[in-house]
């Protein structure tokens, strides 16, 4: 993955959530639980080896990315800042738009989420959205 500059998009929250979903059959839950254990280990291994990890989604569920970031921290051994970089810089790299967005730098598009508490201290602070800036325009949080 490093040699080919491949970015891992593990979508770990999907398997974590599916492993406990009572609507699924017992066999499906067991299969998904096995995938979840592999996902956690492989994602941590990629992080430890220096492979960029991004956050992705297989769903339109509201706050999915926040849940994915929290899962990286709580279950996969990421620090809060490593998970935040995954959701910003590495996501932009995966989409091929890191020349325009993904980091805070002069000349890049202002897409920011302003929080009322520091997520680097506690990743659960991601839910404390105070303001959203999209393409340089400000929006109040819901």
Give me the pLDDT at residue 36, please: 83
Tokens 């508490």 sit on residue: 117
Select from 58, 89, 85 the least CA-distant residue to 72: 85
Query: Quick one: DSSP state of residue 102?
Result: S
Give me the pLDDT at residue 19, please: 60
Give me the pLDDT at residue 109, please: 92
Give me the pLDDT at residue 76, please: 94
Give me the pLDDT at residue 6, please: 94
Token digits of residue 65: 């990315």
For residue range 34-73, list pLDDT tens digits in order: 888 888 999 999 999 999 999 977 666 667 788 899 999 9
Q: What is the CA radius of gyration of the chain?
A: 16
Select from 101, 90, 105, 106 the least CA-distant residue to 135: 101
Are the beta carbons of 109 and 79 closer than 8 angstroms?
Answer: no
| Residue spans of the chain under pLDDT 70 | 18-21, 58-62, 142
Give me the pLDDT at residue 21, please: 66
Distance set, CA 128 to CA 44, 102, 105 (Å): 27, 20, 24
């Amino acid at each position: 993955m490093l040699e080919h500059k491949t970015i891992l998009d593990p979508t770990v929250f999907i398997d974590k959530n599916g492993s406990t979903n009572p609507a699924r059959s017992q066999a499906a839950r067991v299969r998904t639980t096995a995938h979840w254990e592999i996902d956690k280990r492989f994602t941590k291994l990629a992080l430890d080896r220096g492979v960029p990890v991004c956050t992705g989604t297989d769903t339109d569920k509201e706050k999915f990315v926040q849940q994915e970031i929290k899962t990286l921290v709580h279950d996969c051994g990421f620090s809060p800042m490593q998970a935040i970089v995954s959701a910003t810089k590495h996501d932009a790299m995966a989409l091929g738009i890191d020349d325009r967005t993904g980091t805070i730098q002069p000349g890049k598009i202002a897409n920011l989420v302003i929080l009322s508490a520091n997520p680097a201290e506690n990743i659960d602070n991601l839910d404390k959205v105070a303001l959203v800036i999209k393409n340089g325009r400000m929006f109040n949080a819901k």
